[in-house]
Chains A and B, each alone.
Chain A
Amino acid sequence: MSGKRLVVLSINGRDVEVPARPTDTLLDTLREGLGLTGAKRGCNQGLCGACSVLLDGRTFRSCLSLTLNCTDRAILTVEGLANGNELDPVQEAFVASGAIQCGYCMPGMVLAARALLDENPHPEVDAIREAIGGNLCRCSGYTKIVEAIRMMGHS
């Protein structure tokens, strides 16, 4: 249980020092160690996508990786997506299109969308579905989420 040691993580553009046990996942460290509760624990088995963060720009399940393995990576959590009160354009698109219902999947979903758009600024429907295919949403039926991401591609 014990054996915490200090590790340095690059999170949202800043190096932060945080105590972590060898058994802690990145999700544990984000939520409990750093109070970054945007990433959600939906299944803790890497299956729902609610814990997604970007690791070096790629969508990544924070519940599946040990914190100690993430020390040399650039981690972006949902908290780092907005600039203060100014949301990222893809976040604004999610708001405007009515894609957000309960919101529990949204931090992971919007990061998956961001990663897609960074790689492919004008994705078509199938590319969008593929990019968010690992992020479960139980509320929306996905239509308005896909619309939000398409809206970005057409703007």
Chain B
Amino acid sequence: MGERLHGLGERLPRREAREKIAGRAQYLDDIVRPGMLHAAYLLSTIPHGRIVSCDATEAAAMPGVHAVLTGDDFPRLGGGAISDMPCLARGKVRYVGEPVAVAAAEDLATAQAAVRAMKIGYEELPAVLTIEEALADGAPQLHDDLDAYEKSSLIEYGGNVVSYQEMVEGDVDSAWDECDVVLESEFTTHSQYHQAIEPTGAIAEFDSAGKVTVWSTTQSVFRVQAEVSALLDIPMSQIRAIAPRIGGTFGGKGGAHLQPVAVELARRTGRPVKIVLSRSEDMMMMIRRHPARIRIKTGAMNDGALVAREAEVLLEGGAYCSESPAVLGAALLKARGPYNIPNVRVFGRAVYTNKSRAGGFRGFGNPQITFATESQVDEIAARLGIDPFEIRIRNAMHVGDKWLGGQTIEACGMTECIERVRDAARRRPRPVASVPGKRRGLGVACLAHVCGFLSTSAAVRLLEDGTVTVATGAVDSGQGADTALAQICAAALDVPVDRVNYVNPDTDASPYNWSTSGSRVTYMTGRAVAGAAERVKEQIFEHAADMMECAREDLELRPGGRVGIAGVPEKELPFIAISKRAHWAVGGPIMGHFSLMYDGERFDPKRALIRGFPFSNLGTYVFGAQAVEVEVDEVTGQISVVQAWSAHDVGRAINPLAVEGQIQGAFAQGIGYALTEEMVWDEATLINPTLMDYKVPTAFDVPYPIDPIVVEDPEPSGPFGAKGIGEPGIVGVAPAIANAVADATGIRLRDLPMTSERMLHALIGRETKGDGV
């Protein structure tokens, strides 16, 4: 071949871009079904208590109200690695904002009036609101029946601890004495809200044969199908889950949550039922990023070699398990960073608290741990008088090195990423203050993330006219997976992308995919698409060999949907001739299926001591380096990011336009995480559940442009060498900013977010104390 394949590396706009920009794309809340009812929730007003009475008489009797349900109507528990969560509170409430009851009515206002008319009696219990309170001796227990819950056998839990995990390599205790410098600090991070512009919602409708269709804002139609089935005891064959266009997820639309409630309401009323959360309900009920308290200790030699690392991570997980064990494990696994540190001990706990659930959010534990580790690497560099880029290059991993736990790195553009952001940043003159009272600084952070995990599948069919249809179960959350997967299919068959149809995920028709999570769709589902297309190609070749009376080995794929005899340019057949033959004469229609489970190297128990991890492999590693120039206003404390460079080794950019969009969007979300976005509680109550008080970056708050630097070091297991880039771009932003602030002011901020208030206090503290904080 030699020339570029169709689709591969093409800067294509999203397939559905035109319908979206025309306002014609159909999202969940745009769907109206005949006779559809609207549902509203009643939320708990206390953080912890027993439900002693519940009077729905008045609500149920209101005109227009069709059903009122409470926890008693949902006997089963679901959730994460520990099945601890009811659809509506049962017996107890465990956070302010927990759904207690739901009503379905002719219109939303009536449903809201109905739940407001309900009378719930609580017997309040003492609440645990922080990590410290959760772990205190004699702390109130959130889950009295923790031992009885169904759970993964891999979890180590107890009391308010959802998960304890530990991994040890080398001998960290004896390593400290040999180090020339040892630093130890505590870092804290806060809770960030996903804030997809589209709020969460679901619609359910039964047909006359008892089968239910569920439309919802989701990252996985197959999780919806499975969880609705398990929670409501409906066979999966009677549940059809569909994803309309999705208005952003970032991890926040993972598991089923509203869906079972919508289904049960539809079952009881015999009418289609829609639930769409208000922005405030979405902030109070749905998941958020885990706050963390992280102690990091790192030892290095005078030449900058990092030799020992200890990390203790405590995560505040909220009232239910959700994804806390996996987030903790993922964070611990990144605690060594993309560096060859021989002696490592990482351990931590995720705990229950009487707050809304913490769960998966772009980065999945990595932004928290990397804020701590990459801040500390900079402090070590400063202590040793080594350039911050240089210390990272000296310690960076290369192909053949082992990740913490023993996984071999097969492809690694780490060093190139550092060099590229360094060179881009240094093309500008050394930052100087633009005006008196402002200070500028440059900061860098490295990161590695994973893509992979669990299973997926794809089906590729050759249509009668030689064009192609590809079906997968991968929901496109807006990141461009549909387009990238169509491009992979086009490349595998070397046909133009506009001749490839992509089927929207629908459990009735699509092959299984676990979820659009973990930066995995391009890498995992892309492998399935490439595999299925390969099987189509094999069948095309069988027909062609037969039709042209030649050996299969002599055949080659030619661009544009043709197959020919190598070395004989005039001997070839278009796909249409082959597909017509298959449909009408010989063999039957051509289709290829491919299934896979993430098959990367597992933890090596001979290399590392491992306790309590909820997984034994996670994915293929993706590397990156990010740099920022900041300006700190010494009068107001405001930190502004004025320049941003973000280099990522994506293996192979299937669609560079989409890759850049992921890098830029993640960077902006990282700026929000680092500087302004914070869910704030007054005791147990979230006091800023509106976009007025929760500050998401606007076009003014991020630099223009955010410079995406795409590094391509092909991953052998990836489709055409590709790896995932959904999450990595958020991971290093906060530490890069913290390092730039330290460069500008000499002040080391160890607590997120780095608000103006915090910066100002630190600046004032420096003046009065004469040193950093």
Contact = CB atoms under 8 A, between A and B. Distances in A.
Interface residues of B, number: 58
Interface in A56-79: 77-79
B764 interface: no
B13 interface: yes
Contacts of A55: none
A141 B23 contact: no
Interface string A129-152: 110111111111111111100000
Contact of B477 (A44, A47, A102, A142): A102
Contacts of A136: 195, 197, 691, 696, 698
A133 B665 CA distance: 16
Nearest to B666: A141
B122 to A, nearest CB: 29
B696 A140 contact: no
B509 interface: no
Contact of A144 (B107, B248, B664): B664
Contact of B668 (A41, A79, A100, A141): A141
Contact of B23 (A38, A43, A94, A134): A38
B25 A103 contact: yes
Contact of A45 (B248, B658, B692, B700): B692
Interface in B181-207: 195-199
Contact of A103 (B478, B665, B690): B478
A142 B276 CA distance: 27
Interface stretch (B40-48, B463-471, B702-710): B702-710
B198 A102 contact: yes
B197 A142 contact: no
B568 interface: no
B107 A1 contact: yes
A101 to B, nearest CB: 4
A130 B573 CA distance: 56
Interface stretch (B14-22, B305-313, B406-414, B485-493): B14-22
A130 B699 CA distance: 8
Interface string B569-600: 00000000000000000000000000000000
Interface residues on A, range: 35 or more
A146 B705 contact: yes
B479 interface: yes
Nearest to B692: A47
Given A145-B699, A146-B704, A43 B665 contact: no
Contacts of A144: 660-661, 664
A91 B477 contact: no
Given A87-B18, A95-B18, A101-B478, A125 B704 contact: yes
B24 interface: yes
A44 B668 CA distance: 23
A110 interface: yes
Given A37-B23, A101-B479, A103-B245, A138 B696 contact: yes
A40 B198 contact: yes
A137 B661 CA distance: 12
B248 A104 contact: yes
Contact of B195 (A133, A138, A147): A138
Contacts of B279: 42-45, 48
B248 A133 contact: no
Given A40-B27, A138-B197, A96 B705 contact: no
Contacts of B16: 103
B248 A100 contact: no
Interface in A8-54: 31, 35-45, 47-48, 50
Given A38-B24, A101-B248, 14 more contacts: A40-B27, A42-B279, A98-B11, A101-B665, A102-B248, A102-B479, A103-B20, A104-B197, A104-B478, A137-B197, A138-B197, A138-B669, A142-B698, A144-B664
Interface of B: 11, 13-14, 16-18, 20-27, 29-30, 32, 107, 109-110, 195-199, 245-248, 250, 276, 278-279, 477-480, 657-658, 660-661, 664-669, 690-692, 696, 698-700, 702, 704-706
**Ranked 8 nearest A-B pairs via Cβ:** A38-B23, A102-B478, A103-B20, A104-B247, A78-B23, A141-B664, A141-B668, A98-B657
Interface of A: 1, 31, 35-45, 47-48, 50, 77-79, 81-82, 87, 91, 94-96, 98, 100-107, 110, 125, 128-130, 132-147
17 contacts: A37-B26, A42-B198, A48-B691, A78-B21, A79-B24, A87-B18, A91-B18, A95-B13, A98-B661, A101-B14, A102-B196, A102-B198, A106-B21, A132-B698, A141-B664, A142-B704, A144-B661
